[in-house]
């Protein structure tokens, strides 16, 4: 994918200072930290490193990343490492995609109490899936799944929901066999909705959920996870322009056939919406439940794999190969880090040595 011409960092650099001055009392320390991190990401302010091509010897300075989980530019490497680990845990079955969504009326409550409401969303949705799946009238099995929290809609406004990726089946109640779900149907929508509403405590009166068709076996799951797990409220590639204090970005109008539209908002309004989706410090947005829960995954996952058909011996699962951070612009060889610099040292090295700067 080509490098975007406009980035969230550009909007912060042009309008962030004024935005902070006008809204400082309403901004949390975590939101301020995110703004600073994205502003300085891959700039001399964070230091850098000298890279050398392993083939032709070409040298270039690269600036360090901020590694903030809300930064649009810093998720690729973390996503790739995470997906490589998950690839080894895939089962040879179809997978279902289930979405639990809070009604629009609860968005304000979620924004004012994010840790409580998002935690509750995780717990209520997980308990709902585990309970309904365990019922002999439906699947009668102990299932496992991962859940990913998203707090945004395409227009960047608050839209809290959890995406669940669920293998089509689970372990029998006594753990002696694998119980296979139907390939075209997982669990009844109305039952899940009713149970979910009941579990989302007395003060929260209405919720709904959406179950999408199965998206195939394990060969499709990683492609799906790459789109949903390591993601921020808006990618730089959706930004179209920043002129006269107006940000124009592309969004998908799901209410009208997923039609692509352009939205124009003031830069301050864009930053306000972006910061709506900064999670509380330390809050985990990807979680595992059932037989995939961290404390039981090692034993139960192996048990599931034994019950299912093994992968062909001639096509073993392999970890993703180590990939260079970037390739040489001259010959395409792998660029290797040979020296690291502090923020003060980066500028002098770039000027004195005449190295290329690629950040």
Does 76 have pLDDT greater than 80? Answer: no
111 within a domain of the structure (yes/no): yes
Q: Is residue 179 part of a domain?
A: yes
In a domain, 200, yes or no: yes
User: Which residue did the predictor score with more confidence, 274 or 340?
Assistant: 274
Q: What is the CATH number of the domain that holds 121?
A: 3.40.1310
User: 169 and 115 share a domain?
Assistant: yes
- Segment 18-33 shows an average pLDDT of 95
Higher pLDDT, 228 or 295: 295
> Tokens 């810093």 identify what position?
74
**pLDDT classification of 199: cutoffs 50, 70, 90:** confident
Structural domain contains residue 314: no
Residues 140 and 193 in one domain: yes
Residue bearing tokens 């690291």? 340
**100 and 227 part of one domain:** yes
Q: Are residues 43 and 164 in the same domain?
A: no
Top-confidence residue, 89 or 270? 270
**Between residues 18 and 310, the one the model is more confident about:** 18
- Rounded to an integer, what distance in angstroms lies between the CA atom of residue 129 and that of residue 13? 44
pTM summary value: 0.80
Same domain, 33 and 147: no
Same-domain check for residues 40 and 137: no
Same domain, 65 and 126: no
- CA 141 – CA 290 distance, rounded (Å): 10
Residues 222 and 147 in one domain: yes
pLDDT tens track for 108-147: 889 988 988 999 999 999 999 999 999 999 999 999 999 9
Structural domain of residue 57, as residue ranges?
8-70+332-357
Give the chain's domain count.
Answer: 2
pLDDT for res 66 = 92
Residues 166 and 121 in one domain: yes
Task: Tell me whether residue 239 is in a domain.
Answer: no
Q: What is the pLDDT of residue 344?
A: 74
Q: What is the pLDDT of residues 206-260, one digit of tens each?
A: 434 466 666 667 767 877 777 778 889 999 999 999 999 999 999 999 888 889 9
- Determine, yes or no, domain membership for 288: yes
Q: Indicate whether 185 belongs to any domain.
A: yes
Q: Between vectors from CA 265 to CA 25 and to CA 280, what angle results, nearest 5°?
A: 40
**Residue 137 contacts by C-beta under 8 Å, 6 or more apart in sequence?**
none
Judge if 183 and 301 occupy the same domain. Answer: yes
Give the range with max mean pLDDT: 10-19, 184-193, 255-264, 345-354. 10-19
> How high is the pLDDT of residue 316?
41
pLDDT value at residue 323: 45
Query: Do 294 and 337 belong together in one domain?
Result: no
Q: Would residue 319 count as lying in a domain?
A: no
Lowest-pLDDT range of 141-150, 165-174, 350-359: 350-359
Q: How far apart are CA 243 and CA 247, in angstroms?
A: 7
At residue 339's C-alpha, the angle toward residues 1 and 5, to 5°, is 25
124 and 221 together in one domain: yes
């Amino acid at each position: 994918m080509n490098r975007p011409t406009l980035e969230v960092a550009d909007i912060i650099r042009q309008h962030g200072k004024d935005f902070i001055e006008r809204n400082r009392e309403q901004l949390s320390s975590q939101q301020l930290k995110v703004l600073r991190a994205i502003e300085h990401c891959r700039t001399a302010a964070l230091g850098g490193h000298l890279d050398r091509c392993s083939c032709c010897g070409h040298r270039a300075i690269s600036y360090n990343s901020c590694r903030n989980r809300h930064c649009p530019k810093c998720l690729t490497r973390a996503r790739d490492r995470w997906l490589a680990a998950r690839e080894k845990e895939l089962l040879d079955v179809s997978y279902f995609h289930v979405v639990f969504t809070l009604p629009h009326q609860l968005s304000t409550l979620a924004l004012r109490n994010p840790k409580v409401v998002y935690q509750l969303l995780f717990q209520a949705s997980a308990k709902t899936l585990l309970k309904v799946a365990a019922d002999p009238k439906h699947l009668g099995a102990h299932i496992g799944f991962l859940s990913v929290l998203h707090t945004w809609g395409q227009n960047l406004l608050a839209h809290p929901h959890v995406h669940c990726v669920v293998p089509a089946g689970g372990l029998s109640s006594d753990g002696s066999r694998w119980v296979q779900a139907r390939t075209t149907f997982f669990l009844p929508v109305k039952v899940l909705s009713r149970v979910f509403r009941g579990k989302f405590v007395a003060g929260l009166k209405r919720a709904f959920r959406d179950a999408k068709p199965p998206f195939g076996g394990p060969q499709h799951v990683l492609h799906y996870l790459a789109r949903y797990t390591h993601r921020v409220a808006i990618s730089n590639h959706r930004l179209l322009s920043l002129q006269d204090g107006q940000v124009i970005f592309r969004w998908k109008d799901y209410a009208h056939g997923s039609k692509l539209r352009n939205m124009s908002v003031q830069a301050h309004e864009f930053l306000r919406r972006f910061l709506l989706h900064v999670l509380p410090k330390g809050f985990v947005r990807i979680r595992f439940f059932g037989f995939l829960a961290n404390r039981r995954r090692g034993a139960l996952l192996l048990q599931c794999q034994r019950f299912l058909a093994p992968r062909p011996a001639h096509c073993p699962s392999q970890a993703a190969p180590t990939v260079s951070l970037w390739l040489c612009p001259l010959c395409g060889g792998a660029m290797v880090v040979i020296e690291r610099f502090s923020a003060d040292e980066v500028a002098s090295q770039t000027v004195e040595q005449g190295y290329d700067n690629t950040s």
